[in-house]
Structure 1
Amino acid sequence: MNKFKHFIGIDISKEYFDTFLLLESGNRKHNQFSNSTKGVKDFIKWFKKENALIEDTLICMEHIGMYGKLLSSLLVANNCNLWVEMSLRIIRSIGIQRGKNDKIDSERIANYAFKNQDQTILFKAPKKSLEKIRALLSLRERLVVIRASLKQNENELKSFDKEIYNITQKHQKQAIKGINADIKK
């Protein structure tokens, strides 16, 4: 016996998220909401209005990082059954497909949730300390890349144009020193 009666697939972008609802009755509905607190509240009202109760509905979305953070945190706060799945798993399960847009993608995610519901791993929001560590690691990675770029630029200038190298060297060294301090912190 299946635990869920209804399935929602969500495709998220920076400004909007598309949803596709598969109801137990066989009805299929698409809607789009703004990727904002109001949009998430409107989404929850919408699927409840469609007679998809929170406890009977599995919501599935791809793991897409920052754009899905607000949505996932508000859905968990509202006790929704949320499954955040890796994009590659969804793509592999579907195979080669023609056509791609947000509506089609949200429908494919809903179908994936229905077909693979026995593999569902409900999402649990990470602890705040873990989120902070992830944010700091991400910042550190970006700083390392910037530092490498500055050093490469410095070396290239030194070998191609001594005059410009002499003009910019002091500023680049200060920037690199500051970045090194931030990376160390």
Structure 2
Amino acid sequence: MENLFIGIDYSKKSFDVSAYISSEKSKEEKMKLHLLGHQNFSNDETGYIQMLSWLGTLTSLSPKHWLFCGEDSGLYSYSMSHYLYIKGFSIWLENPLHMKRSMGLVRGKSDKKDSGLIALYSYRFRDRRVDFVPKQDTIQRLQDLEAYRHRLIKAKKLLGDSSKELNLYEQTRDTAVLVYDKSMELVEQIESQLKEVEVQIQQVLKSDKEVYDNYERITSVKGISWKTAVVLLIYSHNFTRFETARQFACYAGVAPFEYSSGTSVKGGTHTSRLANMRVKSLLGMAAMSAKRFNKDIAEYYNSKKEKGKSHRVIMNNISNKLIHICFALVRHQTMYQYTYKLV
């Protein structure tokens, strides 16, 4: 049996492709991998068409035996992945760090070499491939709006804080006054845009019943604000991207892991730094809010505090519990009930 493994190295304007074919003559003989060719194409629909035409000249294999693989590079990789998905091809987007750490010791770097390494990676780890599926339209629209809102908030903070500090200590200079006035004008515009974006987010949520139902379920938990809920919906793909709450907790960096080896290494249990820090940060704020306004969480916090647990550890545990609660509410399609005792 033969299969075609196609490695893609994305960049802003172009992408490199390396194609390898595998062949197995008998069950006793190990599968061999042969390079068929390498090529560079423009990162647009014209380039995608040219790539498929070029691959067709390299092999007579049916496209059902082709596997495209590349790093998940966000916007740079999404357009092609969506195009190939529509055309019926299998495309696997892998976490760049995961791929890098699985390749072993590599010397030197070039786009051509990287595309070849990605093709080899897809061959070696083909048993754990995850085929690309486009995000739900509602989730993609929410992501666009939430990312824009996040940029507006950062811009508002950058302009507002620096200009206020300047105005506080340099009120005698005309230039300082000018900077402050102009900055405040921009801050007002940003605040107006923030309100518009937040209205748009609510409209998008309400346009999809399934998404909105899950949104209402997780916001029934005191501590989960609408902002946190939207981010959880986006990064969990409406709670379909991860099979378990534990997996999402790992992704968010709040799941504990043991760190020990033999008799000499006893590092205790800690969270990993390999996490989505945006989600982790929002969960941390949600945990603080839940500790204050959610009686169940408050009781849990006090009980752990009495047992000598540190504030930092308990707050991380609360973040973890909030994830498990949200997944449970979605799984059972119910609202939060303040009748259960957390342990």
TM over 0.5: yes
Q: After TM superposition, list the pairs within 5 Å mapping 1:33-182 onto structure 2.
A: 33-51=41-59, 52-162=61-171, 163=173, 164-182=175-193
Q: CA offsets per residue over residues 73-123 of structure 1, 9 Å max, x none? A: 111111111001110110010133111110111011101100000001100
**1:181 Cα deviation after fit:** 2.1
Secondary structure at the counterpart of residue 113 of structure 1: helix
1:150 and 1:47 map into 2 onto residues whose CA distance is 51
Q: Which moved more, 1:89-98 or 1:114-123?
A: 89-98
Cα deviations by residue, 1:115-134 (Å, 9 ceiling, x for unpaired): 00000110011122221111
Which range is displaced more, 80-89 or 124-133? Answer: 124-133
Secondary structure of residue in 1 paired with 2:112: helix
Deviates more, 1:105-114 or 1:62-71: 62-71
Q: CA deviation at 1:69?
A: 2.1
* Structure-2 separation of matches of 1:159 and 1:47: 64
d(CA) in 1 for partners of 2:11 and 2:44?
11
Q: CA deviation at 1:169?
A: 2.5
Structure 1 position 22 matched with structure 2 position 33: no
AA partner of residue 27 (structure 1): H
Structure with more contact order per residue of length (Cα contacts < 8 Å, sep ≥ 6): 1
Stretch deviating more after TM superposition (120-129 or 18-27): 18-27
Aligned equivalents of 1:23 and 1:139: distance in 2? 43
Structure 1 position 167, deviation (Å): 2.2
Runs of 4+, deviation exceeding 6 Å: none
CA distance in 1, matches of 2:87, 2:53: 11
Report the 3-state secondary structure (helix = DSSP H, G, I; strand = E; otherwise coil) of the residue aligned with 2:16: strand
Give the CA deviation at 1:184: 2.7
- Look up the match of 1:6: 4
How many Å apart are 1:59 and its aligned residue? 0.5
Q: Could you list the runs of 5+ residues in structure 1 that have no partner in the other structure? A: none
Letter in 2 for 1:39: G
Q: What amino acid maps onto 1:184 in structure 2? A: K
Q: Report the CA distance between 1:160 and its aligned residue.
A: 4.1
Which is greater in Rg? 2
**How many percent identity over aligned positions?**
27
Q: Secondary structure at the match of 1:24?
A: strand
Please tell me the residue identity of whatever aligns with 1:170. D
TM-score by length of 2: 0.51
**Structure 2 letter corresponding to 1:43:** M
- Which range moved further: 4-13 or 22-31? 22-31
Partner of 2:194: 183
* Displacement after TM superposition at 1:45 (Å): 1.1
| Deviation readout 1:19-40 (Å, 9 max, x if unpaired) | 1101125431111111111100
Structure-2 separation of matches of 1:82 and 1:167: 54
Distance 1:100 1:113 in 2: 19
Asked if the contact 2:22/2:34 (under 8 Å) is kept, the reply is: yes
Matched positions, count: 183
Q: Root-mean-square deviation (CA), in Å?
A: 1.6
Partners of 1:15 and 1:167 in 2: CA distance? 41
